[in-house]
Structure formats: structure tokens, C-alpha cells
């Protein structure tokens, strides 16, 4: 029932957004809280608490016990995918494989690599075939390439995924139901609103959502005043958004103490970490994850970035899909261990990283140390009226644009932006017009957007593909 409601809400979100924008603020808070009620029931249910209890026990495993658990879950995942999805039944049969051929992590090399293009092309065949459609929630992710792909999950997977995030909170000494301020992509404040409050309340989840679409020098005072009122709470957000807020605080020679800061959604550079910790006078906990929910890397209280082995299997491979040794950068290839609605096996997401040479962490937990390297190195988009849009904000507009191979934004000067698209198959011209319309609805008409099609994305000298290139800096 709850999954059906969530599916309906997501499907009607754009349509409902217009009505929501005309409500008074107190009614918007009620609407956000009502949505929070549905999400809280899906997230903090019996499955969540049982999973969290089990995960806490995993923290005390030996490394050998964790490998044994991984292999057991891997065998179950392979058998499930073979039996329940047309895609894996077909590709395994074509490769002459049966589930019995995959007994451990080392056997995964027998399976073919799954790419983003494969997901786009075979999405329906990757779905579990005997699941009721109303229990299937479909979302979109643009990843690091600036092009969207569809991903499906169910209520059970959502609760389990939420338990993994809660376990990291326990490492940091915070309760799963503590009050938190979040800075993510929800459009909870109408785009046309130009004065506070730029926040809305989700009372059921003890969450205050702070708009990331209204950050500007003009609104800086309101944002900092709000954060001072909520000192000591948990602060969650995208790394680049947290960096913008930290800059605002430090420019005022200010400090706003928070309990902890959790960064996710994009790489956290050392320079961002330092200024965020200075601005909020607390430890920053980094997270590497993705909408596909196949892999997770989390920072512990001692600063180690750990592969969360009970969430997914990670291979780090070179250009020829061979394993790389510790200390050598390679491509992340993930096999999810908690997904039921849409299993993803040997999924090459496009990100890179390396195994740490020194695998010792003082925390003592049985999760290997990994160094995710930065895959997207982007600037900030700045409007003539002083608004600041981080890469993760702009990224929100790309998630449902599935016909792009890549998309980048070139800010030529204070008013002109080129939307540079490497087209894929399908209605890319229609998606490009929709994208510009979406951008104007949030950024306004102070900027002129033009569309340009290209054969390849622009790369930095390092080989990284920036989402935003700001030539006006």
C-alpha cells in the first residue's frame, strides 16, 4: 500500500508541484510532513530495525567471516537473478553458465560486465518478472555522465538501504531518529519565492529540508540565521552545497557548530572537507553511494573509507577488465547484495578508485579500505542576480533525460550558458528542449541558454569530465 502511494506521488510530482507552490507556508509544511509520514513508514519499519540489528553484529565479524557472508549472499543473488529476471537468465545461458558456476567472488569474472547503456537498453528485462507493477518504484539517476537511466526498487530494499545509512550514524554516535537538517534536491520551496523561509518541516522524520535552489549572496543572511537556530543538529547534504554554505559562513568569520556533517552525492575533496569542518566545528563523515544501490563506501569515526561489504561486492578493474593491485586506480564494478526488484551484477558505473595499500584502520571493523577518486571536477554556475548552483543542483534536471550520452553546461559569461549534449538514441532533441524549460523554471530568465550537440564530452587535462565549466570566473 505504501509503495503504491509513493509510486503515485513520484509519478504526479511535477503535476502536483504547481498546486503546492500556491499553498501558504504552513500548508506546505503539512504537505511535506504528510509525504514524510509515508516515507517514515517505509523507512523505519520492522525490516529496517531487524536489518540494523543484524548490521551491528556484522561490525564484530572477522574479515574471514565477512567474506563467508559475502559469498553466501552472492550465491543467493545470482540464483535469484537467474530465476527471476529475463536478462540474467538469457546472458547466463548464452555464456553457458548456471547459478552453480558462481560460488564465490572470484567466480564473478565468468559473468559479463553490465554497463549504463545495457540498463537503458534492457531495463524491462532486468526487472523481476513476477512482481506486481504497483509495488515497483522507478527513479532516475544521471550518474557522472550527465545522462539519465531508469532504476527500480521496492519497499523492502528501501528499508534495508536506510538501515545501512543508519549504521554509519551509530558509528558517529547519533541515533537514527535524531533531528537533522538536509540539503538535497527536493523542491520544497517555490522557485519564485525570494524571501525566507527557505526551509520546510517533515515532522514525522524529524527532518528540516533546506532549499538548495535559493542559495545566493542576497539570501546568505537568512540561511546563516536559520542554521544558527539549529546548532547542534545533524547536517546532511551534497558536498558542493555544503561547500557553498561553508564559504558563506567563513566569509563572515563565523562558525555554526553542528553535531556531525554527512556528505554524500558527489566526491568530497580535502579542501572542501577542511572548510566544512572549520565552518561547522565538527567531524565530516563522507559517503560514496549511488541511486542504483549496488555499492556503498562509508567513512568511519577514525577517518577510514570502508567498502561496505555486506551491501555489495566491489571489483576494481583496468581497461581490459582485469583486477588492479592495491594503490592502482581502476574502474569500479559493483554487484549489489540487497536489491530484489532489479538485481545488478558486475555493473560498471563509470567511477574510479583504488584499494588502499595499507588496509589497517583503528576502528577494527571488517570492511576493506577504498579510495574513491574524483570522477567529476566541476565549477559552480553563477547567475547575474547572485544565485549559486552547484553541480549536484544542476544534476537534478538531468535524471529523466535518458536520451543523452552526456550533458555539460558551459557558462560563457554572466548571462550565457551553452547546454552541450552528446546525444544518444531516442528523443534527444525533445529532451534538450525539456531540459532548457526546466532550467528556466528554476534559474529564471536572467540567463540565456543555447543548445549545442557534440560527438564527445569536454574533458579536463586529468581526463575528468566536468558537468559545469564556468569561463566567467
Considering only CA atoms, which of 57, 41, 288, 264 is closest in space to residue 158? 41
User: How many other CB atoms are found less than 10 A from the CB of residue 320?
Assistant: 5
The 3-state DSSP class for residue 359 equals coil
**346 touches 337 (CB < 8 A):** no
pLDDT digits (tens, 9 = 90+) for 127-180: 999 887 878 888 888 765 556 789 999 999 999 999 999 999 999 999 999 999
pLDDT digits (tens, 9 = 90+) for 316-366: 999 999 999 999 999 999 999 999 899 999 999 988 899 999 999 999 999
Contacts made by residues 29-36, CB under 8 angstroms, sequence distance 24+: 29/200, 29/201, 29/203, 32/188, 32/200, 32/201, 32/202, 32/209, 33/201, 33/202, 33/203, 33/204, 35/9, 35/202, 36/202, 36/203, 36/204, 36/205, 36/207
Residue 442 has a pLDDT of: 83
| CATH class, range 381-470 | alpha beta
Residue ranges of the chain assigned to CATH 3.40.50.12780: 46-162+289-372
Where the chain has pLDDT below 70, the residues are 1, 143-147, 374-377, 462, 473
Residue 141 has a pLDDT of: 83
Residue 144 has a pLDDT of: 55
**181 touches 233 (CB < 8 A):** yes
* Cβ-proximal residues to 36 (8 Å cutoff; 6+ apart), any chain: 202, 203, 204, 205, 207
Rg of the chain, C-alpha, whole Å: 22
User: How many other CB atoms are found less than 10 A from the CB of residue 340?
Assistant: 17
Q: C-alpha grid cell for residue 353?
A: 578508485
Residue ranges of the chain assigned to CATH 3.30.300.30: 381-470
325: DSSP letter: P
Q: Which spans in 305-369 are helix H?
A: none
User: How many other CB atoms are found less than 10 A from the CB of residue 271?
Assistant: 9
Half-sphere exposure of 139 (CA within 13 A, CB side): 15
CA gap 457, 376 in Å, rounded: 12
Question: Is this prediction's pTM over 0.85?
Answer: yes
Considering only CA atoms, which of 170, 125, 140, 165 is closest in space to residue 338? 165
The 3-state DSSP class for residue 90 equals helix
CA gap 452, 420 in Å, rounded: 5
Q: For the domain made up of 46-162+289-372, give the CATH fold.
A: Rossmann fold (3.40.50)
Indicate the angle between helix axes 25-43 and 2-21, nearest 10 degrees: 160
Amino acid at each position: 500500500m505504501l509503495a503504491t502511494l509513493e509510486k503515485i506521488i513520484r509519478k504526479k510530482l511535477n503535476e502536483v508541484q504547481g498546486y503546492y507552490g500556491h499553498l501558504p507556508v504552513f500548508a506546505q509544511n503539512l504537505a511535506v510532513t504528510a509525504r514524510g509520514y509515508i516515507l517514515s513508514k517505509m523507512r523505519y519499519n520492522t525490516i529496517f530495525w531487524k536489518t540494523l540489528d543484524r548490521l551491528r553484529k556484522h561490525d564484530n565479524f572477522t574479515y574471514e567471516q565477512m567474506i563467508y557472508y559475502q559469498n553466501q549472499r552472492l550465491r543467493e543473488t545470482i540464483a535469484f537473478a537467474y530465476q527471476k529476471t529475463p536478462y540474467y537468465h538469457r546472458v547466463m545461458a548464452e555464456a553457458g553458465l548456471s547459478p552453480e558456476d558462481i560460488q564465490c567472488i572470484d567466480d564473478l569474472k565468468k559473468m559479463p560486465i553490465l554497463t549504463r547503456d545495457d540498463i537503458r537498453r534492457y531495463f524491462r528485462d532486468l526487472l523481476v518478472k513476477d512482481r506486481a507493477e504497483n509495488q515497483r518504484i522507478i527513479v532516475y539517476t544521471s550518474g557522472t555522465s550527465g545522462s539519465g537511466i531508469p532504476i527500480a526498487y521496492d519497499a523492502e530494499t528501501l528499508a534495508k538501504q536506510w538501515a545501512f545509512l543508519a549504521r554509519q550514524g551509530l558509528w558517529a554516535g547519533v541515533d537514527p531518529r535524531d533531528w537533522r537538517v538536509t540539503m538535497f534536491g527536493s523542491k520544497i520551496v517555490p522557485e519564485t519565492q525570494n524571501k525566507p523561509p527557505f526551509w520546510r518541516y517533515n515532522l514525522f522524520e524529524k527532518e528540516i529540508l533546506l532549499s538548495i535552489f535559493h542559495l545566493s549572496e542576497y539570501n546568505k543572511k537568512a540561511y546563516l540565521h536559520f542554521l544558527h537556530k539549529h546548532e547542534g543538529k545533524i547536517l546532511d547534504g551534497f558536498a558542493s552545497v555544503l561547500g557553498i554554505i561553508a564559504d558563506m559562513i567563513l566569509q563572515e568569520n563565523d562558525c555554526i557548530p553542528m553535531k556531525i556533517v554527512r556528505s554524500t552525492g558527489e566526491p568530497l575533496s580535502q579542501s572542501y572537507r577542511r572548510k566544512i569542518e572549520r565552518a561547522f566545528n565538527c567531524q565530516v563523515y563522507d559517503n560514496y553511494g549511488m541511486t542504483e544501490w549496488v555499492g556503498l563506501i562509508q567513512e568511519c569515526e577514525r577517518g577510514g573509507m570502508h567498502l561496505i561489504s555486506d551491501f555489495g561486492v566491489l571489483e576494481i578493474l583496468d581497461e581490459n577488465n582485469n583486477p588492479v593491485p592495491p594503490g592502482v586506480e581502476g574502474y569500479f564494478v559493483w554487484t549489489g547484495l540487497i536489491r530484489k526488484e532489479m538485481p545488478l551484477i558486475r555493473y560498471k558505473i563509470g567511477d574510479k578508485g583504488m584499494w588502499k595499500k595499507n588496509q589497517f584502520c583503528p576502528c577494527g571493523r571488517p570492511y576493506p579500505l577504498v579510495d574513491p577518486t574524483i570522477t567529476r571536477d566541476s565549477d559552480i554556475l553563477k547567475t547575474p542576480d547572485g544565485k549559486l548552483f552547484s553541480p549536484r543542483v544542476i544534476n537534478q534536471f538531468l535524471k529523466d533525460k535518458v536520451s543523452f550520452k552526456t550533458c555539460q553546461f558551459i557558462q560563457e559569461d554572466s548571462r550565457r550558458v551553452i547546454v552541450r549534449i552528446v546525444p544518444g538514441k531516442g528523443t534527444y532533441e525533445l529532451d534538450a528542449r525539456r531540459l532548457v524549460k526546466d532550467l528556466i523554471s528554476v534559474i529564471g530568465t536572467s540567463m540565456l541558454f543555447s543548445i549545442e550537440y557534440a560527438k564527445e564530452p569536454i574533458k579536463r587535462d586529468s581526463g575528468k569530465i566536468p558537468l559545469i565549466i564556468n569561463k566567467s570566473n
